[in-house]
Amino acid sequence: MTTDRVTTDRVTTETKVELSINGRRHVVGVEPRHTLGDVLREQLGLTGTHLGCEHGVCGACTVLVDGEPTRSCLVFAVQMDQTEITTIEGLAAADGTLHPVQEAFSACHGLQCGFCTPGFVLTAVHLLATNPAPDRATIRRELSGNLCRCTGYVGIISAVERAAVERAAVERAAVERAVTNAAAVAASAADEPSSPRH
Amino acid sequence: MKSAPFDYHRATSVDDAVAVLTASDGEAKVIAGGQSLVPLLSMRMAQPTVLVDLNGLAELRSDRPTVTDGRARFGSMTRHAQLAIQTHHGLAAEMAGWIGHTAIRTRGTLGGSLAHADPNAECPALALACDAALSVQGADGVRTIPAAEFFAGMLQTALADDEILTVIDLAVPRRWGFAELARRHGDFALVLATVTELADGWRVVVGGVEGTPVRLADAEAALSSDASTDEVGRTVEESIVAYDDLHATSRYRRAMAAELVRRAVDQARRTQGEAS
Amino acid sequence: MVASLDQSTTTAGPIGTSPRRKEDHRLLTGRGRFVSDLQLPRMRHVAFVRSTYAHARIVSIDCNELDPIDHPVFTALSPGFEVGLFAQSALPGYVETEQPPLARGKTRFAGEAIAAVVADDRYQAEDAAEGVVVDYEPLPVTVRAWDEPQHPVHDAALDNVLLARTFSAGDVDAALAAAAVVVRREVVTNRHGGNPMEGRAGVALWEGSARDGHLTFWSGTQIPHLVRNLLAELLELPESNVRVIAPDVGGGFGTKAVLYPEDLALCLMARSLPGTPLKWVEDRAEHLAAATAARDHRYELEAGFDAEGHLVGIRGEAWCNVGAYSVYPWTAGIEALMAGGLLTGPYKVENYRCSVRGVATNTAPSGPYRGVARPATVYAMECLLDSGARALGMDSIDIRRVNLIGPDDVPYRLPTRLIDDTGHYAECLDACIERLGLDELRAEQARRRAEGGKPIGIGLACYNELTGLGRAASAGPRMPFRTGHEACTVRINPDGKVVVLSGVTSQGQGLETTLAQVVAEAVGVNYDDVEVRYGDTDQSLWGFGAFSSRQAVIAGGAANLAAVDVRESALRLAAELYEASPDDLRLENGSFYVAGSPEAVGTLADAARVAYLESNRLPPGFEPGLDATRFYDPVMGAFAAGVQVAAIELDPSTGEITILRWVCVEDAGRVVHPQIVDGQIAGSLAQGIGGAQYEHLVYDDEGNLRTGTLLDYLMPTSAEIPEFEIGHIERPADNPLGVRGVGEGGTLGPAAVLASAVADAVGIDIDQLPLTPERLWLALEDQR
Ligand SMILES: Cc1cc2nc3c(=O)[nH]c(=O)nc-3n(C[C@H](O)[C@H](O)[C@H](O)COP(=O)(O)OP(=O)(O)OC[C@H]3O[C@@H](n4cnc5c(N)ncnc54)[C@H](O)[C@@H]3O)c2cc1C
Ligand code: FES
Ligand code: FES
């Protein structure tokens, strides 16, 4: 399981960890000191997770670990054994169709250079999962753990607001569809001659 | 900004963790949420040889605290996020909500914050304000340290190298007030103040003025004798010597301590008790 | 899923609309291509050993612990490291100094790179860096530009002054002597910097022998062609053997419009290790310590007004902290010359004298940062106006009105001889005030004054942003090159789709989108059929890159010219192919139409196929291919007018400021992509607010940076930045597209606006930035 490697003066061991990333299982050998962010980027080629400070302040490296927003620069990959991780690469559909939050970021110009964007999008996805209808002030507070240097935040706040509204609309439509379907089923059931089942 | 090498040990029990700490002769470090420790590792300001990970220890977690006799007991691995939403200790919930940001609170722990002992942090002040009894376990067994003796100075505690903080037992105040001043949303406080009414009377605690959170006896006395809010505030300004640093001068810290205590007093006096 | 933008397969995206940005999809899905993402076979990683002293002789560098094969170490004594960066200027009063790739003999600021080590990954590189031991002999340290120099930073300038110049016009002494009032202000502004979320990064690969090699340098630079030019010179390579590639870049703001010693060191190391790609990704601590910052200034100014409030003269001095080195290629004059040259802003004044100095100190070098010097000068200037208004008992808005350059005054020659071609300031001001609802706020302010409550203040700033500088306007610093032009190639591929090869770069400004819109409209194709490539010196002919709000004006101008040429060639060819008169033909959405007929006669794809593949069908005299390359130089610059007005509320018990409203109206000329333009303004406003209230690179007296992490260097978050109300007056500029630059204006106002709002609220003069709650509280205490 472990192999020894000589660095300048200390011997470190490599450990195997099993990570489920965006629904796919990966077994990787890591040194204990390798942060999750570095392992995603350097070993797994998932370079969508960005490192803006490596000391927990900028939020660019945020990923979801078992659904919770987590600074991937502040956890070590060895600690993440057997967890489910969602990175920015895991949001869009396989055909490239954007996730509604990504879509809203594009529509509202919630990104410029795009470096902070993965962290913002994942934080926003989590926010909307826990608070489906935040107002702008709430969004501002809840996203304050992520720094963006380009946008002045206006487009980002609008994007999250829009994603919430559109999600609500989609859900309303789904509920309405379900209600209509149920009514239709009920109606057709009523129309059908009752067949004895027993 | 990458850590120096270290070995990793996922603790299987508190005993196991203590055993590794003891064996390492002070060279090992415990990792809880990692939200304070990992930056220090990455900047190579801390270079332990072994990290002992407490994250797998169910015995230190408390999804629901135990509440008896007006005191609430939390496992040291209680995340800030859990503390913020629990309903057994209103002040703890309020203060935890002020810690950093969502992604910090999902990992950071009550025990980690106390062990880190940042004078500008919420949890140390909470502990002092609620007469915390801190259970620690080490090679020599288990002992309980009162909050008043736990904080030894800036980022220093009474914990020995081989000791682990396991349980935090907090009095549930009858009434409380809390006020904080920070430069940005989610930042560590420049200054913070709590006012709590416990079974044995009022406590006034401020953080961010000295190396540890401090209790202000004069302000407590004034409060007990029903002094006006302004009078309580005045005693605060007279009784503390605040430090100067990059973010604020001593003069400003003292004045803000007084202002925040006034706000906390007003809040405490307005609220109804929550414990009986 | 709900579609939000036009999602049909082709988008026309004409100028003035906001089609979906071309860069969005890849950036949103984690498929961006940043330098730090690059992985190449055999790649190794670099860490720099940085000085822990602000000023010290380097006695020795010991790396005996390290295996030279596993961990090669480079220092100033390594072969090839004799070269250095010399920022040049022909201005009298400029002292040329050298910046070595790695500190040579002595270190001049804490954080300067002294050695570089190579390892298999960054972790091991940092391990190895710990094995390099530097022995220092400390020297006296100078931190502030206006302090007595302790020990010369450079031997060439014993007084540390690397640039001194006096701007002068009229007879200011006589004017001030005759003035009704003279006010005096001394203001100090805070050092802060771009801090793009992606730090600097580079990968250097040398292929071939050391003498006859080929260098590829991937870099987050804003100025790839200039970088190529200098690297070729210093490495003694033909320019064609150097390729600089700036792929996706995570923000720049000027910080990356610099050729850094680390860049040069990386390339020199690559030459010593041919075939091994060397990667350096700056971390945030390195960025804060060693990337360029700006606006560490002090101003001592006097202004005279006549009884009606007209400015009659301005006299004063300014000190700009250059840091330890003269930034390449912009020189130690970058801030000082801008400060002296544009201090008077959009206000009319004839008598002017200002002596500016760029002074070397033992701090990190200063360099270009969004707004260059003007966030400080606008603040200083507006302070003078507020003081003037108070001395004369005038309203703070009125005093600005009587002094603003108006449409009737243009072209207005500033006392520093720059020509202001806009004059639309009052219009911006009116629009701001109307939007703000000034009367209501004034009434509320009066009510609170009478009845108690947190004081409200209204502040404003008027400014001009000098954008898109052509060769005449970019002459100021007298550098050995003029940044007035830009090249662009527009090429129709055989399938009729269009490729644009631009010399410009983008760090988030959306140039891929904007240039596509310009070219689509000029050629007559759909936006979706245009692909824009930039940032690769092997693809575009030439470009100076991204700085000084020049991309839309100059790169847009070049793209437009080339696109028009291509359209004309295509129309000429189509005229022959379809036997129509070229004058009757037009090209729209990729198809040719003859006047008077709604049916297309053919498509650009058909014509392009002939042009590339069927030379047998080419009419006589036609060469194969369909492309054009053009340069554009606007010669002069386009001033962009801007005004910001804000209402704030103060909490006297803590000194905290709550921003209630923030209105900004600018003249962006003709707006190409409204969303992008507003995004630029919002982003620059936020940086301006950051610089005014939060961000401060603080050095102690020993020259140690005390704000070395983002826990101490405070950038504003979404919770601090207010909602912005952004308006436009669109006065087309005098260039083919009618556009003005918009990248910087937002940063120019906030410090001035907030200071003037505080003055308005409580009558306190803010003379030092950043405007922290503590500073305000202390001032209120003094007043109480
Ligand atoms: C961007 C950012 C903003 C933040 N803002 C705030 C804020 O506003 N207020 C605030 O209070 N905090 C803030 N924090 C810090 C955060 O609250 C940390 O979670 C907390 O201080 C430490 O808890 P932890 O569980 O992460 O501990 P760790 O980082 O894991 O450990 C901290 C120290 O405590 C020791 N330790 C941990 N657990 C134990 C234990 N059970 N027994 C013995 N020793 C132990 C460790 O060895 C280490 O020395 C912020 C952090 C970041 C990155
Ligand atoms: S890189 Fe993790 S928070 Fe900045
Ligand atoms: S878009 Fe550039 S940092 Fe946010």
User: Are C418 and C524 in the same domain?
Assistant: no
Average pLDDT over residues C685-691: 98
Instruction: Give the ipTM of the model, two decimals please.
Output: 0.96
Same domain, A106 and A164: yes
Closest-CA distance, A196 to chain C, in angstroms, reads 43
* Both tokens assigned to C544: 């100076």
Domain assignment present for residue C363? The answer is: no
The answer on pLDDT for C323 being more than 70 is: yes
Angstrom distances, CA of residue C298 to CA of C141, C145, C146, C147, C683:
19, 8, 8, 11, 26
Domain-located, residue A2? no
pLDDT given at position C476: 67
Question: What is the maximum span of chain B, computed from C-alpha positions, in angstroms?
Answer: 57
Tracing tokens 């909050």 back to the chain, one arrives at B147
| A75 contacts chain B (CB < 8 A) | yes
**CB atoms B184 and C709 under 8 Å:** no
- The pair of structure tokens assigned to C243 is 């390729």
Domain count, chain A: 2
Q: Which atom of ligand 3 is nearest to the CA of C251?
A: 2
- The residue behind tokens 């760029």 is C358
What distance in Å separates the CA atoms of residue C23 and residue C20, rounded to the nearest whole number? 9
Vertex B236, ends B232 and B237: CA angle to 5°? Answer: 120
Do A159 and A181 lie in one domain? The reply is yes
Name C705's Cβ contacts closer than 8 Å, sequence gap at least 6: C110, C111, C288, C289, C363, C364, C697, C698, C699
Question: Which residue of B16, B20, B30, B42 sits with most ligand 1 atoms within 8 Å of its CB, as the best mutation to test the pocket?
Answer: B30
Are A97 and A45 in a shared domain? no
CB atoms near residue C546 (< 10 Å): 30
Cα C777 from chain centroid?
33
A114/B contact by beta carbon, under 8 A: no
pLDDT digits (tens, 9 = 90+) for C82-138: 999 999 999 999 999 999 999 999 999 999 999 999 999 999 999 999 999 999 999
To the nearest whole Å, the CA of A143 is away from the closest chain B CA by 8
C64 shares a domain with C127 = yes
Cβ-nearest to B1 among C130, C284, C707: C284
Determine, for residues B39 and A69 on separate chains, whether the beta-carbon distance falls below 8 Å.
no
Number of domains in chain C: 3
B187 touches chain A (CB under 8 A): no
Helix %, strand %, coil % of chain B (to 5): 35, 25, 40
| 8 Å CB contact of A88 and C130 | no
Looking at the structure, tell me whether residues C493 and C515 fall in a common domain.
yes
Tokens 């629990």 appear where?
A: B86
What CATH number corresponds to the domain at position C51?
Answer: 3.90.1170.50
Tens of pLDDT along chain A (198 residues) come to 344 444 444 556 789 999 999 999 999 999 999 999 999 999 999 999 999 999 999 999 999 999 999 999 999 999 999 999 999 999 999 999 999 999 999 999 999 999 999 999 999 999 999 999 999 999 999 999 999 999 999 999 999 999 999 988 888 888 888 888 877 777 776 555 444 443
Of A8, A58, A152, the CB nearest to C683: A152
Inside any domain, residue A121: yes
Residue count of chain A, please give it.
198
Tell me the per-residue pLDDT of C666-686, one tens digit each, with 9 for 90 and over: 998 999 999 999 999 999 999
Q: Is residue C188 part of a domain?
A: no
B38–A33 CB contact, under 8 Å: no
Determine the pLDDT at residue C310: 98
Tell me how far apart the alpha carbons of residues C341 and C264 are, in angstroms, rounded to a whole number.
32
3-state SS class at B122: helix
**CA angle at residue B226 from B223 to B232, to 5 degrees?**
40
Chains in contact with C, counting 3 or more C-beta pairs less than 8 Å apart as contact: A, B
pTM of the model: 0.96
Residue nearest ligand 1's atom 37 by CA:
B112
**Does A123 share its domain with A153?**
yes
Distance CA C510, CA C489 (A): 18
Any domain includes C580: yes
Q: Do C693 and C621 fall into the same domain?
A: no
Q: Which of A55, A90, A125 is where one domain is finished?
A: A90
d(Cα C634, Cα C553) in Å, to the nearest integer? 8
- Rounded CA gap, C214 and C288, in Å? 32
Q: Are A124 and A109 in a shared domain?
A: yes
Question: Domain range holding C83?
Answer: 39-139+200-249+256-290
Provide residues with CB under 6 Å of ligand 1.
Answer: A 56-57; B 29-37, 54, 76, 99-100, 104, 108-109, 111-113, 115-116, 121-123, 159, 164-165, 186-188
Q: Residue C124 is nearest to which of A7, A140, A149, comparing CB atoms? A: A7
Mark whether A67 and A137 lie in a shared domain: no
Contacts of A33 in chain B (CB under 8 A): 2-6, 41
Using CA atoms, how far residue A6 sits from B28, C64, C70, C331, C573, in Å, is: 20, 17, 11, 45, 68
Same structural domain, C227 and C107 = yes
| Pairwise CA distance, residues B29 & C481, whole Å | 57
Single-letter residue type at A25:
R
User: Is residue C181 situated within a structural domain?
Assistant: no
* CA C132 to chain CA centroid, nearest Å: 36
The pLDDT tens digits of the residues spanning C700-726 come to: 999 999 999 999 999 999 999 999 999
CATH number of the domain where residue A170 is located: 1.10.150.120
Say whether A54 and B42 touch across the interface (CB within 8 A).
yes
Owning domain of residue A169: 92-190
Ligand 2 mutation pick, A63, A73, A122, max ligand atoms within 8 A of CB: A73
- Show which of A75, A90, A105 is a domain's final residue: A90
Picking from C116, C143, C150, C132, the residue whose alpha carbon sits closest to that of residue C46 is C116
Cβ of A32 within 8 Å of Cβ of B41? The answer is no
Q: Domain boundary residue among C599, C632, C665?
A: C632
**Is A6 among the domain residues?**
no
Distance CA C59, CA C51 (A): 12
User: Are A35 and A119 members of one domain?
Assistant: no
**Local confidence pLDDT in tens for the 276 residues of chain B:** 999 999 999 999 999 999 999 999 999 999 999 999 999 999 999 999 999 999 999 999 976 788 999 999 999 999 999 999 999 999 999 999 999 999 999 999 999 999 999 999 999 999 999 999 999 999 999 999 999 999 999 999 999 999 999 999 999 999 999 999 999 999 999 999 999 999 999 999 999 999 999 999 999 999 999 999 999 999 999 999 999 999 999 999 999 999 999 999 999 999 865 543
Best residue of C126, C781, C782 to probe chain B, by most B CBs closer than 10 Å: C126
Domain boundary among A63, A90, A117: A90
Instruction: State whether A17 and A67 are in the same domain.
Output: yes
Q: Which atom of ligand 3 is nearest to the CA of A52?
A: 3
Residue B5 forms contact with A (CB below 8 Å) = yes
Between CA C674 and CA C651 the distance in angstroms is: 37
pLDDT score recorded for residue C11 = 59
Nearest atom in ligand 2 to A73's CA: 2
Evaluate whether residue A7 is within a structural domain: no
pLDDT higher than threshold 80 for residue C12: no
Examine the domain organization and report whether A69 and A17 are in the same domain: yes
Q: To which residue do tokens 């057709």 refer?
A: A188
With respect to residue C641, please indicate whether it lies within any of the assigned structural domains: yes
CA distances to B260, C109, C134, C328, C459 from C99, rounded to whole Å, are 50, 12, 20, 8, 42
Residues C679 and C554 in one domain: no
| DSSP codes of every residue in C185-232 | EEEE---B----SS--EEEEEEEE-SSSEEEEEEE--S-HHHHHHHHH
Query: With pLDDT > 90 as the criterion, what percentage of chain C qualifies?
Result: 90
Determine, yes or no, domain membership for A116. Answer: yes
Shared-domain flag, residues C92 and C231: yes
Q: What residue of C is the nearest CA neighbor of A158? A: C723
- Ligand showing the shortest atom-to-Cα distance for residue A159: 3
Peptide bond just before C716 cis, omega within 30 deg: no
Does residue C50 contact residue C114 with C-beta atoms inside 8 Å?
A: yes
Q: What is the pLDDT of residue C211?
A: 80
Mutate to test the pocket of ligand 1, among B13, B22, B37 (most ligand atoms within 8 A of CB): B37
Q: Is A14 on the interface with B (CB under 8 A)?
A: no
CB C361 within 8 A of CB C112: no
Kindly state the percentage of chain C with pLDDT values over 70. 98
Q: How far apart are the first and last CA of chain B?
A: 50
The reply to whether C234 and C104 lie within a common domain is yes
Residue C3 pLDDT exceeds 70: no
**Domain identity same for C439 and C576:** no
Beta strands at A11-21 and A83-86: parallel, antiparallel or unpaired: parallel
C711:A42 CB<8 A: no
Buried (b) or exposed (e) across C600-611, using 16+ Cβ within 10 A? bbbbbbbbbbbb
Whether the pLDDT of residue C228 is over 70: the answer is yes
On whether residue C275 sits in a domain, the answer given is yes
Same domain flag for C379 and C491: no
A113 in the same domain as A63 = no
C-alpha–C-alpha distance, residues C748 and C52, integer Å: 34
Place of tokens 């990968």: C203
pLDDT value, residue C424: 94
> What is the token pair recorded at C764?
């306190």
Claim to verify: residue C547 and residue C642 sit in the same structural domain: no
Asked if the Cβ–Cβ distance from A75 to B8 is below 8 Å, we say no
A–C interface: beta-carbon pairs under 8 A: 223
Whether A28 and A112 map to the same domain: the answer is: no
Q: Which atom of ligand 1 is nearest to B46's Cα?
A: 49
CATH number at residue C668: 3.30.365.10
Q: Name which residue sits closest to atom 33 of ligand 1, judged by CA.
A: B116
> Cβ separation of C28 and A102 shorter than 8 Å?
yes
Do B251 and B258 meet the contact criterion of CB atoms below 8 Å apart?
no
| Tokens 């170490």 found at | C73
Instruction: Tell me, yes or no, whether C489 and C614 share the same domain.
Output: yes
Domain holding A58: CATH number?
3.10.20.30
**Whether residue A119 is found in the same domain as residue A154:** yes
Residues from chain C contacting residue B43 (CB–CB below 8 Å): 285, 709
- Six token digits for residue C552: 């839309």
List of chains touching A (3+ CB pairs within 8 A): B, C
In a domain, A142, yes or no: yes
Domain-located, residue A8: no
pLDDT at A182: 78
